[in-house]
Structure 1
Amino acid sequence: MKKQVILATTNMGKVKEFQALLEPLDIQVMSIHDLEGERIPEVVEDGETFEENALKKARAFYRQFNIPALADDSGLEVDYLNGEPGIYSARYAGEGKNDQDNIEKLLEKLKEVKETELRKAHFTCAIAFVDGAEEETVTRGECHGVIASQPRGENGFGYDPIFYLPEEKRTMAELSKEEKNKISHRSVALKKLVENLSVKIVD
């Protein structure tokens, strides 16, 4: 029987990534859409780090549904902008804005920055696993690249179309799902999580 965990997110793009990454481990990743009629806990993401926000979400979902909960907080950090947009990546252009708005704001801030070296950036992901007060684990993963001058690719979500991977000679949005899952910040953090859990989520 598959081990069930609830993923604390409304982002179906993230749900699909987690499902693909954990499927080989015989773990069923449930989303809020699998829990019809259940109240979704409201979580104010006011932590100062990705780790703090991930833990807040995982704890809230564990308390609400009483099953092991996974949550991630991730974002893009641009060296030239002193780490912006960072923990504000999803709402960089303001509340109610979408991925395209966030991308346009970032590209506007970098429009005068032509040198590749100055456009270096990395995706960061912190993943929290909560299965009661005695079992809380947080891991962190990163993926390094460069901010492209314009979007390329139709896959992925968020800032993927402008996150260029020099070793791949493609943006993250030009990779297949399988290729992305091998190198993404989320994949790195999740692999660390599975390795580091003192009580394995895989029995």
Structure 2
Amino acid sequence: MSGEGPVPQAIRKLSAGKLVIASHNEGKVREIRELLQPYGMDVVSAGELELPEPEETGTTFVANAELKALQAADLSGLPALSDDSGLCVEALGGDPGIFSARWGGENKDFGHAMQLVEDRLAEKGPDAARDAHFICALALAWPDGHVEWFEGRVDGTLVWPPRGDKGHGYDPVFVPVGGQETFGEMDQAVKNDISHRADAFRQLVAAVF
């Protein structure tokens, strides 16, 4: 896992108070809320505020995280934290990458998305490498347009069939390096200590709190 380099130095610190999580993904909001709990933040999601979901037109995780955070901060008048994350499979040239949610179709059916990844790997032949990694980009935006961002990563391998009903997204097919359980089987407190999101959060916490 990355994130062991120098601690990023934020230009602006975040004060305790209201913070918008710029996401309509309940699983993601729950994870972020748990990670923020120790820092005195009064968290509300974009879904709870009925904020619209912006079109993700960025070409990187950071760009998409920034545009979501900036819109939520602008519309709510509050600091907003956004996460853009996804699964990158080496044998698929980094796909699904920034399109990870979109591989699930309009209904964001991750059962379908996981099957699609497996089908694409099968097309590569029985010897196709199953190395993969998750990336999480966090962007923290203020209503005046200022943004801080952090990027985390966790490496692992893909398994099939999916295992476990915890977590969300592609968690049931991802086993982190050194682990035996998928993120879908793992106790969520353990996952929250080693995940790509946890990696990015450690950087954010060190920099802005």
Where does the alignment leave 5 or more consecutive residues of structure 1 unmatched?
Answer: none
Contact 1:41 1:64 in 2 (8 A): no
Aligned to 1:144: 155
Percent identity between matched residues is 37
In structure 1, C-alpha distance between the alignment counterparts of 2:145 and 2:105, rounded to whole Å:
37
Aligned to 1:103: 114
**Aligned 1:71-90 pairs, distance under 5 A:** 71-90=82-101
In structure 2, C-alpha distance between the alignment counterparts of 1:106 and 1:134, rounded to whole Å:
37
In the TM superposition, what is the alpha-carbon distance from 1:34 to its structure 2 partner?
A: 3.8
In structure 2, C-alpha distance between the alignment counterparts of 1:83 and 1:70, rounded to whole Å:
25
Contact 1:19 1:28 in 2 (8 A): no
> Are 1:20 and 2:31 matched, yes or no?
no
Return the TM-score normalized by structure 2.
0.86
Where does the alignment leave 5 or more consecutive residues of structure 2 unmatched?
Answer: 1-14
Q: 1:132 aligns with which of 124, 143, 158?
A: 143
Return the TM-score normalized by structure 1.
0.89
In the TM superposition, what is the alpha-carbon distance from 1:31 to its structure 2 partner?
A: 1.3
> Are 1:160 and 2:174 matched, yes or no?
no
Q: Which has the higher contact order (CA 8 A, sep 6+)?
A: 2
In structure 2, C-alpha distance between the alignment counterparts of 1:175 and 1:45, rounded to whole Å:
30
Higher normalized helix content (fraction of residues): 1
In structure 2, C-alpha distance between the alignment counterparts of 1:34 and 1:57, rounded to whole Å:
15
RMSD: 1.8
Partner AA of 1:57 in structure 2: K
In structure 1, C-alpha distance between the alignment counterparts of 2:105 and 2:27, rounded to whole Å:
20
CA 1:168 to 1:7, structure 2 compared with 1: closer, same or farther past 3 Å? same
In the TM superposition, what is the alpha-carbon distance from 1:193 to its structure 2 partner?
A: 1.3
User: SS of the counterpart of 1:174?
Assistant: coil
Contact 2:78 2:142 in 1 (8 A): yes
Partner AA of 2:149 in structure 1: V
Higher mean alpha-carbon deviation, 103-112 vs 119-128, is at 103-112
In structure 1, C-alpha distance between the alignment counterparts of 2:143 and 2:71, rounded to whole Å:
11
Contact 1:47 1:53 in 2 (8 A): yes
> Are 1:190 and 2:204 matched, yes or no?
no
Q: 1:4 aligns with which of 18, 23, 35?
A: 18
Say how many residue pairs are matched.
194
In structure 2, C-alpha distance between the alignment counterparts of 1:77 and 1:158, rounded to whole Å:
13
Contact 1:152 1:171 in 2 (8 A): yes
User: SS of the counterpart of 1:92?
Assistant: helix
In structure 1, C-alpha distance between the alignment counterparts of 2:170 and 2:45, rounded to whole Å:
23
Output one character per residue of 1:43-68: Cα deviation in whole Å (capped at 9) or x when no partner.
Answer: 11010000000000000000100011
Aligned to 1:176: 187
Partner AA of 1:177 in structure 2: Q
